[in-house]
């Protein structure tokens, strides 16, 4: 148990020290990464990119029927 | 219904996907190639113990890190677009697209959260060999990650290893091996990653040349040019070989794209390869599509026949053969394919109706057709043609395909010359004396991006109107959403990606100006 705890502590400290001693460019790109991920997941995904079939139909059967209708229904 | 969808929705959806993919591809190839250059440099450091190689590795690793961090997750937006804008397509491809992308996602997650962290945080904290192993694993992992994306993309160009399920309207994978070993996938993977190696080598050579022009970091710059020159030259030759293989495969599985790349309208034996040419409109037409003449052309006799058939006398079909058919050469007309596709679609329609009215006998007999090889090979494989009104609609934009191909190839050969000169001048220690060469190396950096993007334009524009070759045109794949929504997100993406690009260029420029000491 202590070996596992020690390994976990080393693992945590490795990342902690890495982030703590990061260079200016490292800090800057991390800020960009966080902003970018927020825009992608909290704005684009939530407000603009809902899955069309998942949000308009409740089951795979309905989705299948819709797509078959799309494939067979024209001309 | 699809027929009610405004064409502008299709075009805006395509434009949005193109914008996202083009920006995404500005970040990816440098990651693919620079990761290996770092691995070579660090290997020399571990082997020799010479601190200059450690300094070089850390400097280029900084630029790698900036590019990697800015580019990471930009590909996720493409996946969002599949679900929102291309829902019919997403459903139709079923698990075939999902499986490779899931493997890629898992691989990327583990690679990024572990080995990239060791690369950046692990100097002096982990052993030299462990650190080196992490750098190599990042390089291999990044390139394997690309493999899965390219496997999925290649399936769209040559759908194999699947069977269509008429109940769910989805294609189901019946051979993972066929999907992964798809000849298009093998050619595309080798061609794409080696082109990434070339881009990264041009990048390293160009930045190093800038240092030499400023009389700074001369040892670092010269050694970097040597490593990039060797890696770039080997990769450039590999790009030429894999490009040749790729062209042969395209001639087999996407002959219309191949003919468009050459602006070849009339099929011929002993066909020459057009090295340079200017397209002009002629009076001739195929349906409503203009036929172009190739003026001021320089040709290599018989080369196109040799490339496609292995023989100088081989017959290469032109767009007119491929659209109107050529029974002598065993080429079906598009009209015939449209008829066969319509039959396949009628079977699907009848199957759906039989299910709705509970006609079990018809359900059984019609359902069985989707498992029969004769129906699959002679009718269902032309399913997508059923959506066209006119045969000429299968022709992509010839000028875009023709010119993009020539830009890519011309720059590819230019880079071979660049790397030969880089190695030559470096070995004779004459780099500083030839400032013209240093300037050309620096100017070549954007040209490498141009070549790389041109390659994708050939691939994606050349296969229009298909989203899945022969099975689904883009007009059928698109979701029935408002054009305004797509226009809004197009503008949002343009702003987001441009901001990311500006951030990358400015942080990278500052870091380059600071040099390796900072």
Residue B170's pLDDT is: 92
B48 and B174 assigned to the same domain: yes
Q: Each residue's pLDDT tens digit in chain B (518 positions)?
A: 444 455 688 999 999 999 999 999 998 999 999 999 999 999 999 999 999 999 999 999 999 999 988 887 777 888 888 888 899 999 998 878 777 777 777 777 677 667 888 998 888 888 999 999 999 999 998 888 888 889 989 999 999 999 899 899 999 888 889 998 999 999 999 999 999 999 999 999 999 999 999 999 999 999 999 999 999 999 999 999 999 999 999 999 999 999 999 999 999 999 999 999 999 988 889 888 898 888 888 989 998 999 888 888 999 999 999 999 999 989 999 999 999 999 999 999 999 989 888 888 888 988 899 889 999 999 999 999 999 999 999 999 999 999 999 999 999 999 999 999 999 999 999 999 999 999 999 999 999 999 999 999 999 999 999 999 999 999 999 988 888 888 888 898 889 889 888 988 899 999 999 888 74
Residue B505's closest CA among B456, B445, B450?
B445
Distance (Å, rounded) from C-alpha B483 to C-alpha A31?
Answer: 33
CA B2 to chain centre: 28
Residue B333's pLDDT is: 95
Residues 6+ apart with CB under 8 A from B118: B126, B130, B131, B134
B298 phi and psi, to 5 degrees? Answer: -115, 125
B457 and B323 assigned to the same domain: no
CA B41 to chain centre: 28
List the single residue in B1, B166, B503 with the smallest CB-CB distance to A32: B503
Tell me the shortest Cα–Cα distance from A25 to chain B, in angstroms.
7
B451 and B305 assigned to the same domain: no
B152 and B237 assigned to the same domain: yes
B184 and B60 assigned to the same domain: yes
Residue B85's closest CA among B190, B9, B172?
B9
Phi-psi region of B170 (alpha: psi -120 to 50; beta: other; left: phi over 0): beta
Find, in chain A, the residue whose alpha carbon is nearest to that of B490: A48
| Number of residues that this document lists for chain B | 518
The range of the structural domain enclosing residue B302 comes to: 264-327
B181 and B228 assigned to the same domain: yes
Which runs of consecutive H residues, i.e. helices, occur in B384-429?
Answer: 398-427
Contact between chains at B168 and A60 (C-beta distance less than 8 A): yes
* Number of folded domains that form chain B: 3
Contact between chains at B66 and A29 (C-beta distance less than 8 A): yes
Contact between chains at A44 and B90 (C-beta distance less than 8 A): no
List the single residue in A25, A69, A70 with the smallest CB-CB distance to B66: A25
List the single residue in B352, B503, B507 with the smallest CB-CB distance to A72: B352
Distance (Å, rounded) from C-alpha B93 to C-alpha B159?
Answer: 10
Which two tokens mark B508?
A: 């990278």
B202 and B280 assigned to the same domain: no
Find, in chain B, the residue whose alpha carbon is nearest to that of A52: B84
- In which element (H, E) is residue B164 found? strand B162-165
Residue A1 binned pLDDT confidence (cut-offs 50, 70, 90): low
B379 and B458 assigned to the same domain: no
Contact between chains at A73 and B492 (C-beta distance less than 8 A): no
B344 and B314 assigned to the same domain: no
Residue B2's pLDDT is: 45
Report helix, strand or coil for B212: helix
Neighbours of B206 (CB within 10 A): 23
B426 phi and psi, to 5 degrees? Answer: -70, -45
B312 phi and psi, to 5 degrees? Answer: -65, -25
Residue B6's pLDDT is: 58
Residue B453's closest CA among B14, B15, B150, B23?
B23
Contact between chains at B87 and A52 (C-beta distance less than 8 A): yes
Residue A15 binned pLDDT confidence (cut-offs 50, 70, 90): confident
Q: Which of B368, B390, B412 is the last residue of a domain?
A: B390
Tell me the shortest Cα–Cα distance from B389 to chain A, in angstroms.
9
Q: Which of B365, B390, B415 is the last residue of a domain?
A: B390
Q: The complex's ipTM?
A: 0.83
CA B507 to chain centre: 27
Report helix, strand or coil for B148: helix
Tell me the shortest Cα–Cα distance from A1 to chain B, in angstroms.
23
Partners of A28 on chain B (C-beta within 8 Å) are 507
B146 and B181 assigned to the same domain: yes
Contact between chains at A15 and B70 (C-beta distance less than 8 A): no
Which two tokens mark B68?
A: 């990697």
B11 phi and psi, to 5 degrees? Answer: -65, -40
Residue A75's pLDDT is: 39
The answer for A 42-61 residues in CB contact with B (under 8 A) is 44-45, 48-54, 60
Which two tokens mark B400?
A: 């875009």
The string of DSSP letters for chain A reads -HHHHHHHHHHHHHHHHHHHT--HHHHHHHHHHHHHHHIIIIIIIIII---HHHHH-SSHHHHHHHHHHHHHS--
Partners of B120 on chain A (C-beta within 8 Å) are 18, 26
B218 and B74 assigned to the same domain: yes
> Does residue A73 or residue B427 have the better pLDDT?
B427
Find, in chain B, the residue whose alpha carbon is nearest to that of A59: B168
* pLDDT, averaged across chain A: 84
Distance (Å, rounded) from C-alpha B64 to C-alpha B39?
Answer: 12
Distance (Å, rounded) from C-alpha B303 to C-alpha B298?
Answer: 12
Find, in chain B, the residue whose alpha carbon is nearest to that of A10: B125
Contact between chains at A18 and B121 (C-beta distance less than 8 A): yes
B17 and B156 assigned to the same domain: yes
List the single residue in A39, A40, A67 with the smallest CB-CB distance to B92: A67
Contact between chains at A75 and B389 (C-beta distance less than 8 A): yes
């Amino acid at each position: 148990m202590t070996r596992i705890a020690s390994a976990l502590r080393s693992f945590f400290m490795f990342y902690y020290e890495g982030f703590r001693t990061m260079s200016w460019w490292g800090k800057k790109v991390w800020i960009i990464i966080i902003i970018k991920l927020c825009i992608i997941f909290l704005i684009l995904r939530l407000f603009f990119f809902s899955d069309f079939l998942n949000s308009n139909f409740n089951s795979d059967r309905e989705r299948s029927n819709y797509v078959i209708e799309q494939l067979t229904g024209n001309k | 219904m699809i027929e009610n969808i405004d064409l502008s929705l299709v075009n805006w959806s395509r434009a949005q996907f193109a914008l996202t993919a083009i920006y995404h591809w500005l970040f990816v190839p440098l990651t693919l190639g620079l990761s290996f250059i770092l691995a070579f440099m660090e290997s020399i450091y571990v082997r020799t113990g010479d601190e200059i190689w450690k300094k070089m590795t850390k400097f280029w690793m900084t630029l790698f890190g900036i590019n990697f961090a800015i580019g990471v997750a930009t590909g996720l937006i493409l996946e969002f677009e599949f679900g929102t804008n291309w829902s019919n397509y997403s459903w139709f491809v079923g698990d075939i697209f999902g499986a490779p992308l899931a493997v890629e996602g898992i691989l990327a997650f583990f690679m990024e959260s572990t080995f990239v962290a060791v690369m950046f945080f692990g100097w002096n904290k982990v052993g030299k060999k462990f650190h080196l192993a992490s750098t190599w694993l990042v390089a291999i992992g990044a390139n394997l990650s690309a493999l899965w994306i390219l496997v999925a993309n290649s399936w769209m160009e040559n759908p194999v290893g699947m069977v269509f399920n008429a109940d769910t309207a989805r294609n189901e994978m019946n051979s993972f091996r066929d999907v992964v070993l798809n000849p298009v996938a093998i050619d595309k993977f080798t061609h794409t990653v080696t082109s990434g190696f070339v881009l990264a080598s041009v990048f390293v050579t160009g930045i190093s040349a800038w240092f030499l022009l400023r009389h700074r970091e001369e040892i670092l710059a010269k050694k970097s040019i040597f490593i990039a020159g060797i890696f770039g030259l080997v990769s450039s030759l590999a790009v030429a070989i894999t490009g040749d293989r790729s062209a042969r495969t395209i001639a087999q599985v996407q002959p219309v794209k191949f003919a468009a790349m050459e602006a070849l309208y009339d099929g011929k034996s002993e066909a020459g390869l057009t090295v340079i040419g200017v397209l002009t409109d002629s009076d001739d037409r195929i349906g409503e599509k203009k036929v172009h003449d190739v003026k001021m052309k320089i040709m290599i006799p018989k080369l196109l026949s040799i490339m496609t058939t292995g023989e100088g006398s081989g017959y290469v079909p032109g767009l007119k053969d491929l659209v109107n058919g050529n029974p002598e050469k065993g080429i079906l007309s598009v009209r015939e394919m449209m008829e066969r596709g319509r039959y396949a679609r009628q079977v699907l329609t009848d199957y759906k109706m039989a299910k709705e009215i509970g006609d079990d006998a018809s359900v059984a007999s019609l359902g069985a057709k989707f498992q029969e090889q004769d129906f699959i090979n002679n009718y269902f494989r032309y399913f997508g043609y059923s959506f066209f009104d006119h045969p000429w609609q299968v022709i992509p934009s010839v000028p875009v395909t023709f010119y993009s191909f020539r830009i890519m190839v011309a720059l590819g050969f230019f880079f071979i010359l660049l790397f030969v000169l880089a190695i030559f001048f470096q070995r004779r220690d004459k780099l500083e004396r030839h400032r013209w060469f240093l300037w050309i190396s620096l100017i070549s950096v954007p040209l490498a991006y141009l070549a790389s993007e041109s390659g994708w334009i050939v691939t994606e524009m050349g296969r229009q109107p298909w989203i899945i070759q022969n099975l689904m045109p883009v007009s059928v794949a698109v979701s029935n959403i408002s054009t305004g929504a797509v226009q809004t997100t197009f503008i949002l993406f343009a702003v987001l990606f441009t901001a990311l690009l500006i951030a990358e260029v400015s942080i990278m420029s500052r870091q380059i100006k600071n040099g390796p000491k900072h």
